Structures are given as structure tokens and as C-alpha cells.
Amino acid sequence: MGTRADFYIGRGVQAEWIGSIAWDGHPDTVMGKRKDRGEPNKFGRSDTEAKFRKRFLRYVADLEDAAVPPAPWPWPWADSRMTDYVYAFDDGGVWVTDHDNAWTPIEVELGDRAAPGDDDGSVITITEEQIQGWVAESQAEMAKPTTRFPRMKP
């Protein structure tokens, strides 16, 4: 059984689904290093929607288990609440949630396991103030009844 993952632009019911993978959807694989390539995956470090889209498509280009529109929604369930991991580009960064839990910035999820800097060789610095802001946002999200996703099946 694979670790499934869905990918979106945005979060919430208006998010745009850009694809899914059926195997190796864990953050260490998706946003860290791809086992079959042994190289860092840069799309977890995307700071624009365009970079996230481009890097996602590059990531899944040779995967047999990927579904990308116009391919149909690949799962028997109606939205991403049953998917193991869900990744979204929103508010200038990459977010992750698992099984309908609160959204967490990918940098917080991976900690020191994250892939190094951006394509230009720069290193992304995370301040304590940013982490505290993310924690506060995550706590507010957890207080809501559920993480919302667009409905992909009738």
C-alpha cells in the first residue's frame, strides 16, 4: 500500500487540484530527497506559485503513479481528507497536512531534513517569529471543525 499525496494551489474549498501520486507521498520523500534520483526536490522550497507548479510537474514527469489534470481524480474518495498527505502552495510557501489535520509549513514539518536552498544557491532562513506565527495559525486552524478541501467527486 502506497503513501498517497495530493497537491494544490491554495487551501480550502477554492483550492486548485494540480495532481496526485499514489506511492512515496511522505514529506521526507516528496519534499526532501527523491529516493530514485538521490537529489534534493526543490519544489518544497518554492516561493512563487509558478515555481511550485513547474517543480511539481518536473517531479512527477516520470512517475507511473502520478495523476495530473486533465486526468481524472484518482481516488475512490471525494476529497483529500482520506489522502495520506496533502501539499499546497499558499501565502508564499508550501504547506502540508495529513489525514485532515491542521496545515503546517513544510519547513516546520521537515525541520533539518529539508532540501537545501533554492535554485540560485540561496538558503532560506526561518526566524523564530515566523515559526511562532505558523504555530498560531496552525492552532487557529485546529480549532476549526475540519480542514476543507474542494470536492473532486460527486
68-111 per-position pLDDT tens digit: 999 999 999 998 988 999 999 999 989 999 876 788 888 777 76
Who wins on pLDDT, 96 or 124?
96
C-alpha 154/C-alpha 144 separation (Å) is: 24
- Is 99 a domain residue? yes
Does residue 109 lie within any of the structural domains?
A: yes
Query: Does residue 104 sit within a domain?
Result: yes
The answer to whether residue 14 is domain-embedded is yes
Average pLDDT over the chain, rounded to an integer: 78
Spacing of C-alpha 90 from chain mean position: 10
Q: What values do phi and psi take at 96, rounded to 5?
A: -140, 145
Q: Copy the grid coordinates of residue 124.
A: 532560506
Judged against a pLDDT cut of 60, whether residue 119 lies above it is answered with no
Provide the number of structural domains found in the chain. 1
29, part of any domain: yes
Q: Of 109, 94, 87, 103, whose CA–CA distance to 5 is shortest? A: 87
Domain residues for the domain of 23 are 5-143
Q: Does 67 map to a domain?
A: yes
For residue 97, being part of any structural domain is answered with yes
Of residues 135 and 126, the one with the higher pLDDT is 135
Residue 151 covered by a domain = no
The radius of gyration computed from the CA coordinates of the chain, to the nearest angstrom, equals 15
